Structure 1
Amino acid sequence: MVGISAQAGSAARQRAPLSRERVLGTAVALADEGGVDALSMRRIAQALGVVPMALYKHVANKNELLDGMIDVLVQEIDPPAEGTDWKTAVRRRVLSARRMLLRHPWAPEVIEARTKARVTPTPAVLAYLDSMVGIFRAGGFPIGLVHHALHVMGSRLLGFSQELFEDTPDRAPDPDAPPPEEMAARYPHLTALAAAVAHDEDSVVGAGCDDQAEFEFALDLTLDGLERLLRAS
């Protein structure tokens, strides 16, 4: 009976039309099971009951596969809470992101690597960050303070600890990036932030942000927080 059931399940998978969503979902499941290093197009194809070449109609290469997997995971993060203050809303979303990463332990490494490799984050990551900027703005934060907050929080916005907002002036433009007007329509908060923040051509991390100012801002914020905790104790 077990053999018949397994055969029926395999036949059902083969009959179901192949789609990008199925490919990405299967890739995420395999990475959860054996880690992302063991992931391959051949393994994904075997799990789906198709030939490997069939996958390339939906993902062009391994990097596009990884980018798509990141977007699948980001969509697991809870939407913004309604009827609450900015601090509670941000905290809930960050903790939701952390729960997502605990379900997928391989994800931080992939997010970090693909963030460094891409000129712009993936669409789902952009939409998530845009909504987080929107929460800060709705909470009364001026755009400059939002800029500092994103640097301080870094990848904690996605549930782990790594700098997400590194500048990469030497990389060529992303050929797949939407035109500026489309980016502005999709991600209005990030567009406003990019247009408003100050830039420092002599920054040791490259043009884009004043790294000394960001370092001092994060240090002062940390020390202020420790002082507040000391007083409370």
Structure 2
Amino acid sequence: MTEQPRIPLSRRRVLRAAVALADRDGLGSLTMRRLAQEVGVEAMSLYHHVANKEAVFDGIVEVILGEIMAAVEHAEAPPPERDWQAALRAQILAARDVFLRHRWAPQVLESRSTTSPLVIAYYDHVVAVLRAGGFSYDLAHRALHVLGSRALGFTQELFTPDSAQPGEAGAGNGAADAGGHTAADAGAAELMEQMADQFPNLAGMLAEAVHNDPDGTLGFCDDQFEFEFALDLILEGLERRRTAGH
């Protein structure tokens, strides 16, 4: 039997393996030791390609953003000159699809202390769509503030039951049990119980939200319907401001 050639270790291979490990076992599983096992080498071999665990996090942000840029490029949308709302909506939902494949990724992206050039490139593309749609630079600037992380396909919600940092044990890593329930689900339920007497209106609202969408998508309240509902409100409001000369 012919032995299969060994794939040489590279930074790209290490980072792809890190993404696969986080997808399969959750962000909390992403240690240098586990990553070395994933690619079949000794842990010391990794340091020729990634300096440390933080470098791995920086690298997987690059991988995810690269996927987003590719998804945006292939998204089906009209030219922004003809319909900027549809063009930007398609771009944002294409980016969101990538995050839905890697549900831990928003947490890592928001934890970085420096902004990736790929994030800047993405937002430059957003501004290009707005400008092609007739926005002044001033209104485009305001639009970016309104959209925030929603422009990338996810939102930072008001109530997040799990606030641990990336890499900490059990930290919001998206790992689910056999029934698909995560630690965040348990935290959400506990939070609502604690709130019920003191804050009955919020507790009732959140209980109904979780009941109507038990699976969620990228966060506690950030489900697809709510995301698209808010996105459409923003785009419609921006169009009114654009046509009125803001």
Aligned to 1:146: 140
In the TM superposition, what whole-angstrom CA distance separates every residue of 1:132-158 from its partner, at most 9, and x where no partner exists? 121112222111111111111110111
CA drift of 1:41 comes to 1.1
Structure 1 residue runs of 5 or longer lacking an equivalent are: 164-220, 229-233
Aligned to 1:112: 110
Aligned to 2:192: none
Aligned-partner Cα distance in 2 for 1:55–1:133: 38
What letter corresponds to residue 133 of structure 1 in structure 2?
V
Aligned-residue sequence identity (percent) comes to 53
What letter corresponds to residue 103 of structure 2 in structure 1?
P
What letter corresponds to residue 159 of structure 1 in structure 2?
G
CA contact (8 A) 1:136 1:146 kept: yes
Aligned-partner Cα distance in 1 for 2:88–2:97: 14
Aligned-partner Cα distance in 2 for 1:82–1:72: 27
2:151 aligned with 1:157:
yes
In the TM superposition, what whole-angstrom CA distance separates every residue of 1:52-109 from its partner, at most 9, and x where no partner exists? 1221222212222112111211222223446343211110111111111111111111
Aligned-partner Cα distance in 2 for 1:58–1:123: 20
Aligned to 1:41: 32
Secondary structure at 2:154 match in 1: coil
Q: Which has the higher helix share?
A: 1
CA contact (8 A) 2:79 2:87 kept: no
CA drift of 1:123 comes to 2.3
Pick from 51, 61, 65: which aligns with 2:42?
Answer: 51
Name the structure, 1 or 2, with higher relative contact order (CA <8 Å, separation 6+).
2
Aligned-partner Cα distance in 2 for 1:108–1:136: 24
- TM score, norm. by length of structure 1: 0.60
2:96 aligned with 1:98:
yes
User: What is the Cα-based RMSD across aligned positions, in Å?
Assistant: 2.5
Secondary structure at 1:76 match in 2: helix
Aligned-partner Cα distance in 2 for 1:128–1:138: 15
What letter corresponds to residue 83 of structure 1 in structure 2?
P
Pick from 89, 92, 104: which aligns with 2:87?
Answer: 89
Aligned to 1:132: 126
Aligned-partner Cα distance in 1 for 2:63–2:138: 31
Aligned-partner Cα distance in 2 for 1:63–1:71: 13
Secondary structure at 1:75 match in 2: helix
Superposition pairs of residues 52-67 of structure 1, within 5 angstroms = 52-67=43-58
Pick from 49, 73, 76: which aligns with 2:67?
Answer: 76
2:29 aligned with 1:31:
no
Aligned to 2:176: none
Aligned to 1:192: none
CA contact (8 A) 2:72 2:91 kept: yes
Aligned to 1:178: none
Superposition pairs of residues 184-199 of structure 1, within 5 angstroms = none
Aligned-partner Cα distance in 2 for 1:113–1:59: 18
Aligned-partner Cα distance in 2 for 1:67–1:157: 20
In the TM superposition, what whole-angstrom CA distance separates every residue of 1:5-62 from its partner, at most 9, and x where no partner exists? xxx6xx65xx211111101100000000111111011111111111112212222122
